[in-house]
Chain A
């Protein structure tokens, strides 16, 4: 497969479809990574080496340091995404959207600094480097030229952040100060997620496992599992139905799930 054929095989339109089988979603993108690896062969061994590790950031250990390391990688991703977004000119200037994304960008930058310090600084053996990101996922997305795509990925990243931090809470239970700080970041991500969703015309909370209108099918992995209505044995749908019940609780992502989602954007 050559690179042109590869691009043909994967149009933006297909990815941006809001309806369709969930089955393909992120599985398809992983396949895309593999196709890309194969397509890259003519361009030299070094690029093959890089691409062959696409999506292969390692799951972090189930302890406080591992939790911070995963968090840092996700914050690196968000920080770079918003800085690139603001610099690209894709965000309409002078209005609400710009104010929102400047504020979010400031927070993500602060989170990166905070987490690096929490891990003992850049010289610490626990420090993790910023990966190299490709927010186009090999050309499948065009977030810095197409504002709806920028918004859609922002929603996916914020909703992922909320779920990923939640999934790490148990790993931080033995480190109360770090747990508290992680919770304080977690709720900021949730404030961001709500606002980005509202900018996109959605509700601020997640209904069932619906990714919402206009979200690429590829983001479905961010929402799978959110439809849960049983909390500690209590059926949250009993009073007002499953939609309200599922909205009332955000669900965690496991380390592996969070790594798989972030890994799509890492080369």
Chain B
């Protein structure tokens, strides 16, 4: 695999991203036509179908490594790659949770059942995106997001409260991410797939919240569901990546996602 994944401070890419957005904004104003050729030139090996894909998805910014850093790309494939990154994080987290020593003694039977289910679901989501993107990307060898690396800092996987609090944050973030990303998807089939996954993430968030505080309304608490509109949280990719990057040590950029 030629993708070079650099391990460095995540914030540096956020800074780069802001700078780049300024520049690319000008580019858009200057010439929309140029936009399709301003990125990923070295990765964009044009297969016979790629022109169709570009026409279909309205952009030429495929996921891929640019100047040594992987960018998630634009349009539907960018959004799917973004989702793949989040599912990698969730899957990795629950894999560590259920394999941690003392899992069966630190958690109640109900906790364990929920956490094992979530481990299964998130690993399935991750492998689904890997397979789907491998099929949809014109040149998956270069354009498929590599396996990310994670660091949970001082998180104690033997601590029920810490694990459940982290699970709650991850699931709520997942819900917000898919809710915010829906409008960025132009292919109805992809939109439906995102919809099939987000409600399961919301079911997870609810269950984790009710494990933490069962005798309450926290399963759909006022901290996530607006008390006037009844609407759940939503976040743009840049907001979500800022949160998720607390756990992801692999540097990547999202230059073409809002």
Pairing of A with B: yes
Residues of B within 8 A of A192 (CB): 206, 219-220
Q: Are B193 and A232 within 8 A (Cβ)? A: yes
**A170-B191 contact, Cβ under 8 Å, with A110-B230, A184-B234:** yes
Number of interface residues of B (CB under 8 A): 56
Q: Are B200 and A190 within 8 A (Cβ)? A: yes
**A104-B220 contact, Cβ under 8 Å, with A187-B202, A204-B207:** yes
Say yes or no for B68: interface residue by CB 8 A criterion: no
SS class of chain A's interface: helix, strand, loop or mixed? helix
Interface code B221-250, partner A: CB below 8 Å = 1, 0 otherwise?
A: 000011111111110000000000000000
Residues of B within 8 A of A184 (CB): 179, 231-234
Chain A interface size band reads 35 or more
Q: Are B232 and A188 within 8 A (Cβ)? A: yes
Say yes or no for B168: interface residue by CB 8 A criterion: no
Residues of B within 8 A of A103 (CB): 217, 219-220
- Bound complex: CA of A203 vs CA of B115, how far in Å? 12
Q: Are A231 and B196 within 8 A (Cβ)? A: yes
**A248-B120 contact, Cβ under 8 Å, with A173-B186, A185-B231, A195-B210:** yes
**Chain A: CB-nearest residue to B127:** A239
**Chain B: CB-nearest residue to A236:** B124
- Bound complex: CA of A178 vs CA of B135, how far in Å? 30
Give, as a whole number of angstroms, the nearest-CB distance from A237 to chain B.
9
- Bound complex: CA of A166 vs CA of B193, how far in Å? 9
User: A179's contact among B132, B183, B219, B229, by CB below 8 Å, is which?
Assistant: B183
Q: Are B175 and A187 within 8 A (Cβ)? A: yes
Say yes or no for A183: interface residue by CB 8 A criterion: yes
Q: Are B199 and A96 within 8 A (Cβ)? A: no
A window 179-207: CB within 8 A of B: 179-181, 183-195, 198, 203-205
**Chain B: CB-nearest residue to A114:** B229
Residues of B within 8 A of A187 (CB): 175, 178-179, 198-199, 201-202, 232
Q: Are B232 and A198 within 8 A (Cβ)? A: no
Give, as a whole number of angstroms, the nearest-CB distance from B73 to chain A.
18
Say yes or no for A123: interface residue by CB 8 A criterion: no
Q: Are B202 and A190 within 8 A (Cβ)? A: yes
Q: Are A205 and B229 within 8 A (Cβ)? A: no
Interface code A99-130, partner B: CB below 8 Å = 1, 0 otherwise?
A: 11011101111110010000000000000000
Say yes or no for B32: interface residue by CB 8 A criterion: no
Q: Are A195 and B127 within 8 A (Cβ)? A: no
Q: Are B203 and A205 within 8 A (Cβ)? A: yes
Interface code B159-200, partner A: CB below 8 Å = 1, 0 otherwise?
A: 000000000000000010011101101101101110111111
- Bound complex: CA of A240 vs CA of B117, how far in Å? 10
Q: Are B225 and A233 within 8 A (Cβ)? A: no
- Bound complex: CA of A190 vs CA of B198, how far in Å? 9
Show 16 A/B contacts (Cβ-Cβ < 8 Å), sorted by A: A102-B217, A110-B228, A166-B195, A166-B199, A170-B192, A180-B234, A185-B230, A187-B178, A188-B231, A189-B199, A190-B206, A191-B203, A195-B206, A204-B203, A232-B128, A248-B125
Contacts A190-B206, A191-B225, A195-B207 known; list 11 others, CB within 8 Å: A99-B215, A100-B217, A110-B230, A185-B231, A185-B232, A186-B199, A187-B202, A204-B203, A205-B121, A231-B132, A248-B120
